[in-house]
C-alpha cells in the first residue's frame, strides 16, 4: 500500500499499522496541490467570463439562456487556462482545466437524473394525491378517455405489476442462486461456457424477450394467449443474467478459508454452499435480488406483446390480458387526451416511487451493519470485506 514503507515487523517502533494509513486500509488520498491564491484565480476567471458574456450578449439580437451559459463556461475555461498558464506553467494549467472539465462533465450526468425525478414528481404527484385512495384502487374500465381523472385509477396496473414481477422473481431467485453457486464453487469447461453465456445475455434487449415469449408462448395458445404469466417469463429472461452475475460476484468474495475450514471439519459440499457460503453472502444476495426486481418493475417492452395491457382488473395472471404499471402509463401517455396523459403521469409517479423504494431497500440491505448479523451465530462477524 504505502510503497516506501521498508520497515519490517521486527524493526523498532513498528506496530504493524502505518499510523498515516487511511482508515479501512484504503489507499491514501493525494494531497491537494493547489498553490495559495488558486481560489482567487478560479473565482476571478469565473466572474470575468460572466461579465464578458453579459456585455457581449448586449449586442446580440437574441439572448438564449442556454447559449449564454455555454459561452460563459467556454470563456471561463479560456480565461482560467490562460491565467494558470501564465502564473504556473503548462502542466498546472492542463491539470486545472482537466479537473474543471471532469467535474463539469460528470455534473452533466446528474442533471437528467434530477430533472427526471423532479418532473415525474411535479406532474404525477398532484394526480395521485388529489385522488389519493381512489387512484390506487380504481381501474380504467368505466372511465371513458375524456372522463376526469377521479373516475379512473391504476389499481389494476398495480396488481398486474405485483403479480408479474412476483412470479418472475419466484422463477428467477432459485435458479439464479443455484447457478451462481455453480459458477463460483465449481470450475469446469461447462461452467465457463455458462458464465460466458450469462455475460452475453446480460444486454439482451427487452423487446427481444418480448418477441420470444410471444412466439413461444402467446402465439401457440391462440387468442387467449396474452397473460400476466407470459410477461413474467419475459421478465425472468431479463432478470436471470443480472441476478446470476451479481450473486456470483457476491459469493466469490466469501473468503476461501471459510470454505476450507468447513470442508476440513468434515462438512459435505452442499452444506458448505448452503449453510456457510450463502449465509455469509446474505446481504449482498439480498441486494442482488432487490436490484433485479427494481429493474424488472420498470420494464415496459417485454409486456407489450405478452401481458398486452387491459383497462380492467384481472386478478388471475394465468389467463387473459393484464395491465402493468409501466405499460399502462405508456399507453396513457401516448393518448391525445389530456386527462389520460395526466393519469399516465400519475402511473409514472407510482412507478418511480416503487423503484426508488426498492433502490433504497437495496442500499439498506447492502450496507447492513454487523450487528444485524448476530442472529446467525455460526457466521463469524465481518467475514465479507466490504
Partner 1 sequence: MTVMAPPSVGFGRPVEDVPVPLKPAQTRADKVFLAMLLVASAIVLLAIVAILYFLVDSSVPAIRYAGLHLITSEHWAQTGTHQQFGLLGALVGTVMIAAIALMVGVPVSLCAALLINEYAPRSAKRWMTSAVDLLAVLPSLLYGLWGLKVLGNQIYGFTKWLSVHASFIPLFREPDATFGNSIFVCGVVVGIMIIPIVTSVSREVMAQAPRDACEAAMALGGTKWGMVTDVILPFARNGILGAVLLGLGRALGETVAVLLILSQTNVIHLNILGPGGGQIPALIANNFESVNALAKSALTVSGLLLFITILAINFTARRVVGRPQIAMQ
- For residue 268, the minimal CB distance to partner 1 (Å) is 5
Using CB under 8 A as the binding rule, whether residue 382 contacts partner 1 is answered as no
Please work out the total of residues on this chain that contact partner 1, with binding judged by CB under 8 A.
Answer: 125
Within 8 A by CB and 6+ apart from 263, the residues are: 269, 272
Is residue 370 near partner 1 by the rule CB under 8 A? no
Q: Is 165 in the site for partner 1 (CB under 8 A)?
A: no
Please state the closest distance from residue 148 (CB atom) to partner 1, in A: 21
Please answer whether residues 73 and 53 qualify as being in contact, where contact means their C-beta atoms are separated by less than 8 angstroms: no
Q: How far is the CB of 73 from partner 1 (least distance, A)?
A: 14
| Phi, then psi, of 8 in degrees rounded to 5 | -105, 175
Closest CA to 349 of 109, 113, 126: 126
Rounded distance between C-alpha atoms, residue 285 and residue 375, angstroms: 17
CA distances from residue 271 to 189, 251, 258, 262, 279 in whole angstroms, order as listed: 24, 15, 12, 9, 11
User: CA dihedral defined by 109, 115, 120, 121, rounded to 10 degrees?
Assistant: 120
Q: How many angstroms separate the CA atoms of 46 and 43, rounded?
A: 5
Kindly report the number of other CB atoms within 10 A of residue 57's CB atom: 16
CA distance 304 to 23: 51
CB of 246 to partner 1, least distance (A): 5
The residue among 190 and 376 lying less far from partner 1, judged by its C-beta, is 190
- Residue 106: CB minimum distance to partner 1, A: 4
Q: Is the Cβ of residue 10 or residue 66 nearer to partner 1 in the bound state?
A: 66
In the complex, minimum distance from the CB of residue 287 to partner 1, in angstroms, rounded to a whole number:
5
Considering only residues 339-368, where is the footprint of partner 1 by CB under 8 A? 345, 348, 351-352, 355-356, 358-359, 362-363, 366
How many other β-carbons are positioned within 10 Å of the β-carbon of residue 250? 24
Q: What gap in Å lies between CA 47 and CA 274, rounded to an integer?
A: 62
Residue of 9, 17, 55, 110 that binds partner 1 (CB under 8 A) = 110
- Determine the Cα–Cα distance for residues 24 and 288; give it in Å rounded to an integer: 24
Interface of this chain with partner 1, residues 47 to 86, rule: CB under 8 A: 64, 66-67
**Which of 212, 231, 211, 206 minimizes the C-alpha distance to 319?**
231
**144, 162 contact by CB (below 8 A):** no
Query: Smallest distance, Å, CB 129 to partner 1?
Result: 19
Q: Pick from 72, 80, 214, 313 the residue near partner 1 by CB under 8 A.
A: 214
- Map the footprint of partner 1 across residues 247-286, applying CB under 8 A: 249-250, 252-253, 255-257, 259-260, 263, 268-270, 273, 284
Q: Which residues pair with 21 in a beta bridge?
A: none
- Name 322's bridge partners: 308
State in angstroms the smallest separation of the CB of 125 from partner 1: 14
| Nearer CB in complex with partner 1: 79/384 | 384
Contacts for 217 with CB less than 8 Å, ≥ 6 apart:
225, 230, 233, 306
Is residue 35 at the binding interface for partner 1, with CB under 8 A as the rule?
Answer: no
By C-beta, is 19 or 266 nearer to partner 1?
A: 266
In the chain the first and final C-alpha atoms are separated, in Å, by 18
CB of 164 to partner 1, least distance (A): 14
Q: In terms of CB distance, is 142 or 187 closer to partner 1? A: 187
Query: Judged by CB under 8 A, which of 304, 307, 323, 332 binds partner 1?
Result: 304
Select from 334, 335, 337, 364 the one that contacts partner 1 (CB under 8 A): 334
Binding mask 215-254 for partner 1 (x = CB under 8 A): xx--------------------x--xxxxxxx--xx-xx-
- Which residues make beta-bridge pairs with 308? 322
Candidates 40, 87, 119, 148: give the one binding partner 1 (CB under 8 A): 119
202 binds partner 1 (CB under 8 A): yes
Amino acid at each position: 500500500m504505502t510503497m516506501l514503507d521498508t520497515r519490517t515487523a521486527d524493526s523498532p517502533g513498528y506496530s504493524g499499522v502505518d499510523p498515516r494509513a487511511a482508515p479501512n486500509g484504503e489507499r491514501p488520498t493525494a494531497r491537494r496541490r493547489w498553490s495559495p491564491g488558486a481560489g482567487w484565480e478560479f473565482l476571478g476567471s469565473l466572474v470575468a467570463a460572466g461579465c464578458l458574456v453579459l456585455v457581449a450578449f448586449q449586442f446580440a439580437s437574441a439572448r438564449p439562456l442556454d447559449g449564454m451559459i455555454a459561452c460563459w463556461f467556454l470563456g471561463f475555461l479560456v480565461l482560467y487556462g490562460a491565467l494558470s498558464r501564465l502564473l504556473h506553467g503548462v502542466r498546472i494549467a492542463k491539470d486545472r482545466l482537466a479537473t474543471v472539465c471532469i467535474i463539469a462533465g460528470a455534473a452533466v450526468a446528474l442533471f437528467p437524473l434530477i430533472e427526471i425525478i423532479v418532473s415525474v414528481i411535479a406532474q404525477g404527484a398532484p394526480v395521485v394525491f388529489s385522488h389519493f385512495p381512489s387512484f390506487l384502487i380504481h381501474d380504467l374500465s368505466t372511465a371513458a378517455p375524456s372522463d376526469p381523472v377521479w373516475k379512473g385509477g391504476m389499481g389494476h396496473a398495480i396488481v398486474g405489476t405485483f403479480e408479474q414481477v412476483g412470479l418472475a422473481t419466484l422463477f428467477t431467485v432459485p435458479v439464479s442462486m443455484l447457478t451462481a453457486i455453480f459458477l463460483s464453487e465449481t470450475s469446469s469447461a461447462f461452467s465457463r461456457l455458462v458464465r460466458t453465456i450469462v455475460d452475453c445475455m446480460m444486454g439482451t434487449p427487452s423487446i427481444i424477450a418480448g418477441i420470444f415469449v410471444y412466439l413461444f408462448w402467446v402465439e401457440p395458445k391462440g387468442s387467449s394467449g396474452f397473460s400476466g404469466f407470459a410477461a413474467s417469463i419475459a421478465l425472468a429472461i431479463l432478470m436471470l443474467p443480472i441476478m446470476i452475475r451479481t450473486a456470483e460476484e457476491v459469493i466469490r468474495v466469501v473468503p476461501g478459508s471459510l470454505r476450507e475450514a468447513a470442508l476440513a471439519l468434515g462438512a459435505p459440499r452442499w452444506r458448505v454452499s448452503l449453510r456457510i457460503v450463502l449465509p455469509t453472502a446474505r446481504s449482498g444476495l439480498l441486494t442482488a435480488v432487490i436490484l433485479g426486481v427494481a429493474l424488472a418493475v420498470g420494464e415496459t417492452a417485454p409486456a407489450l406483446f405478452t401481458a398486452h395491457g387491459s383497462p380492467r382488473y384481472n386478478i388471475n395472471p394465468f389467463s387473459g390480458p393484464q395491465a402493468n404499471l409501466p405499460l399502462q402509463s405508456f399507453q396513457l401517455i401516448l393518448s391525445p387526451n389530456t386527462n389520460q396523459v395526466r393519469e399516465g403521469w400519475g402511473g409514472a409517479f407510482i412507478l418511480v416511487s416503487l423503484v426508488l423504494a426498492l433502490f433504497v431497500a437495496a442500499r439498506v440491505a447492502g450496507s447492513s451493519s454487523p450487528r444485524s448479523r448476530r442472529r446467525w451465530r455460526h457466521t463469524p462477524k465481518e467475514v465479507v470485506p466490504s
